[in-house]
Structure 1
Amino acid sequence: MTTVDMAASPTRPSALAGYEDWPDQAKHRFTADSVEARHLAETLGVPAVTPDLEYTVLSESEHDGVITSHLQWQLGFGPATSAWFARPAGATAPLPGLLALHCHGGIKAYGAERLVRLPHDFEHRDAKHYDGGAPSSDRPGGAAGSPAMGLPPLDIRAKLYGGRALATCLAQQGFAVLAHDTFMWGSRRFGLDPLPCRTANAVDGLQALRREAGVELSAAEQYDAAAAAHEETVAKAATLLGTSVAGTVAHDDLAALGVLASLPGVDADRLGCLGFSGGGGRAMVLGALSPLIRSYVVTCMMTTFEALLPAYLDAHSWLLHSPGLASLGDWPDLAVRSTAERVLVQYALADLLFPEQGMRDAHQHLLKGMPARYTGSFWQEPHVFTQAMQDEAAAFLASALQPRQATTTHAPDPARTAS
């Protein structure tokens, strides 16, 4: 719907299509286990998380030594969540569990699919786009009443993840990995047809520029352009509801962590998470909110707040810019707040989204604030999660999530026991 169409329409389109029930859910707040986590949850306005979520297995496939299950669950608001659970075929003992948290990437038409190798990846590995056929529940946009998005996650993997499906590769290395769509992405995206008024104005301008250049946007590109403009509206709504974009994303991530802990074959005492870019910020927030996270990795998402001013403010989304967050300390203080036993932060020195000094200042802050738990590594890379960086992250998590040493309790010696 264009602005001209809206002028002739008798009703104003919803700015929260698919999430009209969000205001009711936002009234109820997540209760954290510690004072530190409670302060963070209150600042972000994290909605209450439904305990013991039931999930449905929609499909299952096996390839490259990995079993991948497509899961779905319904949260307290918005559309149902799609997720993919990947684990090594033939595993018999309980495995360490990881949440693989997808990045922002400026792409909201799909979410966790970018991290998982699925059957259609093989079908379309040499194609730029899907064939445009009927929507499938295994594809982004496959939900009833949604347009087929048509863009596979292979391009973003090649650009940002060294061509790897991160969750699948981690499963090949012995982890049980859950990758889920979070609030605003993939199955959890907003309905933007018709476009809300303010979003329509922004999209009209972009489409006019593209038409002049002779470029026709795909359905996924049209959605992503609309979703980029719509994120401002979502942040505005979150403020009205006493929550935030990051707080509502954290709600979805906490729910997924609960599902991961309940999945068969997962050792609930050995849980971790990792993420690149916006996914790295999600990993740090999740680690600060939940004591279930024993270890996590943050990639290309660490700096100080001061370093973002004035030139780097527009390089980041609302996942980083949460109202009131600075009252709790600096960005690296979120890691200090966590109870995680070991934390790895990977810095990319050629990252154009963060100034080098901000990264180095954050590194010093973390060395001082959590010296026994923190490891930092510096890479001469741009804003990417290379295969070598992924290998380092996997090795770090494998070491950090070893089974705890069993403590042996001996019966007291009667000769040394007071009568």
Structure 2
Amino acid sequence: MTLGLTRGVLPSFYERLRDELTFPLAWGRSATRDFPAWREEARAVVGEALLQPPAPGPEPFDPETVDVCDAGPYTSRTVEFALSRYGRARGSLLVPHGSGPFPAVLVLHDHGSEFTIGREKAVRPRSATDRLARATVWAERHYDGRFVGDELAARGYAVLAVDTLGWGDRGPLAYEDQQALAANLYQLGTSPAGLAAHEDIRAAAFLASLPEVDERRVGALGFSMGAYRAWQLSALSDDIAAAAAVCWMTGVKEMMVPGDNALRGQSAYFMLHPGLHRRLDIPDVASLAAPKPALFLAGGRDHLFPLVGVTAAYTKLRAVWESQGAGDRLTTTVWPDTGHVFTSGMQEAVYAWLDTWLARDPTRSGGNRPATDSGVG
């Protein structure tokens, strides 16, 4: 065998490397048989792969309201808070009118190689005219013309959206500079994906801390890269009670094949934790959220996530949730005629699912009712 390159950027021996991935820490393979103990052990391994350690001790958020406007059934605010020990960031916060505390959703924006807007992909910008135009075009292209954050706020949820490093107020990053950013962060002992994960954990904690929010009923929602961040956040944060992920789930081995988008680098660096897959597969990491409610939606015609990877991952996820007697808390669905988009129909399914698990106060209604799993198909 010639030890060189084949099929573009893959090494000629990539299949042997792929076959060596046995995911020894996966639930069912790990020698640890107690699920809470396994979760703690696996979380620690993921934490090491994030590369960026959390700050010692709790840090104050020190929030400030930058602007406020009335948006009909809810108030739209721009808030600034300490997102990490390195500095502050701005977020879009929507709060329904009326008496809280309200259920809440952290909406995590997509990638899409569009860096001039971030949180504006989820929440309608009301003060920056140029961003409103770009955000409207983006919503038409990927969300059937809707801003999912505003839709949720109109339904009675408090909503927070924050820019990831490189997007919106924290950018804009150029597509071709993503690998340089990743290389520079690796040199500094961290990574784009690790920083994003820690910031998402911090944003969830901030949302749960707000007096308008019921800290027991905080969810995460995202499409595409935002979906990856949503299920990852539920796996790593106890502040998230339920998560819905649209169009981002697969297995490592199914992803590492010629032609897959992840092999191009660039955007992959925001969803890549070095060395982690020697221990855990992608759905193994997502399974750290069990037995919390989890929703995964996929498009049957999604060119970024072919069905072979989606169905393999769904099978792994289901085995974990069912092992914990929580199969009714996991919904895994493929929309056969849908591509890599978050259609209005998918949105309505997500909103209904969130209502099932977050909308009702369990202390007043006797607990949330279980979701019905629709299976793969």
Q: TM-score, normalised by structure 2?
A: 0.78
Name the aligned partner's letter for residue 368 of structure 1: A
Alignment of 1:372-411 (within 5 A): 372=327, 373-379=329-335, 380-401=337-358, 402-405=360-363
RMSD across aligned positions (CA): 2.3
Aligned to 1:157: 139
Aligned to 1:173: 155
Q: Between Structure 1 and Structure 2, whose CA radius of gyration is higher?
A: 1
- Tell me, in whole angstroms, the C-alpha distance in 2 between the residues paired with 1:290 and 1:359: 24
SS in 2 for 1:36: helix
- Tell me, in whole angstroms, the C-alpha distance in 2 between the residues paired with 1:75 and 1:291: 17
- The answer to whether the 8 Å contact 2:228/2:271 transfers is yes
- Report the alpha carbon displacement of residue 370 of structure 1 after superposing the two structures with TM: 1.4
SS in 1 for 2:139: helix
- Report the alpha carbon displacement of residue 78 of structure 1 after superposing the two structures with TM: 5.8
Alignment of 1:16-415 (within 5 A): 34-49=40-55, 51-76=59-84, 80-89=88-97, 91-120=98-127, 130=130, 152-189=134-171, 227-308=174-255, 309-312=257-260, 313-314=262-263, 316-339=267-290, 341-371=292-322, 372=327, 373-379=329-335, 380-401=337-358, 402-405=360-363
- The answer to whether the 8 Å contact 1:296/1:340 transfers is no
- The answer to whether the 8 Å contact 1:294/1:339 transfers is no
**Taking structure 1 as reference, are residues 322 and 310 closer, same or farther at Cα in structure 2, changes over 3 Å only?**
farther
Name the aligned partner's letter for residue 221 of structure 2: L
- The answer to whether the 8 Å contact 2:291/2:321 transfers is no
Aligned length: 315
- The answer to whether the 8 Å contact 2:205/2:239 transfers is no
- Report the alpha carbon displacement of residue 151 of structure 1 after superposing the two structures with TM: 5.8
**Taking structure 1 as reference, are residues 406 and 339 closer, same or farther at Cα in structure 2, changes over 3 Å only?**
farther
CA deviations on 1:371-405 (whole Å, 9 max, x unpaired) are 32321111121100111111111111121123334
CA deviations on 1:85-104 (whole Å, 9 max, x unpaired) are 11222x21311111000001
**Taking structure 1 as reference, are residues 263 and 340 closer, same or farther at Cα in structure 2, changes over 3 Å only?**
farther
SS in 2 for 1:288: helix
- Report the alpha carbon displacement of residue 328 of structure 1 after superposing the two structures with TM: 2.9
Any gaps of 5 or more consecutive residues in structure 1?
A: 1-32, 125-129, 131-138, 140-149, 190-222, 409-419
- The answer to whether the 8 Å contact 1:294/1:340 transfers is no
SS in 1 for 2:312: helix
Name the aligned partner's letter for residue 259 of structure 2: A
- Tell me, in whole angstroms, the C-alpha distance in 1 between the residues paired with 2:41 and 2:285: 13
Name the aligned partner's letter for residue 342 of structure 1: P
Any gaps of 5 or more consecutive residues in structure 2?
A: 1-38, 367-377
- The answer to whether the 8 Å contact 1:274/1:280 transfers is yes
Name the aligned partner's letter for residue 383 of structure 1: H
CA deviations on 1:132-164 (whole Å, 9 max, x unpaired) are xxxxxxx6xxxxxxxxxx963111111111111
SS in 2 for 1:69: strand
CA deviations on 1:46-74 (whole Å, 9 max, x unpaired) are 34256331111000111232211111124
Q: TM-score, normalised by structure 1?
A: 0.70
- Report the alpha carbon displacement of residue 296 of structure 1 after superposing the two structures with TM: 0.1
- Tell me, in whole angstroms, the C-alpha distance in 1 between the residues paired with 2:290 and 2:340: 28
SS in 1 for 2:309: helix
- Tell me, in whole angstroms, the C-alpha distance in 1 between the residues paired with 2:186 and 2:133: 32
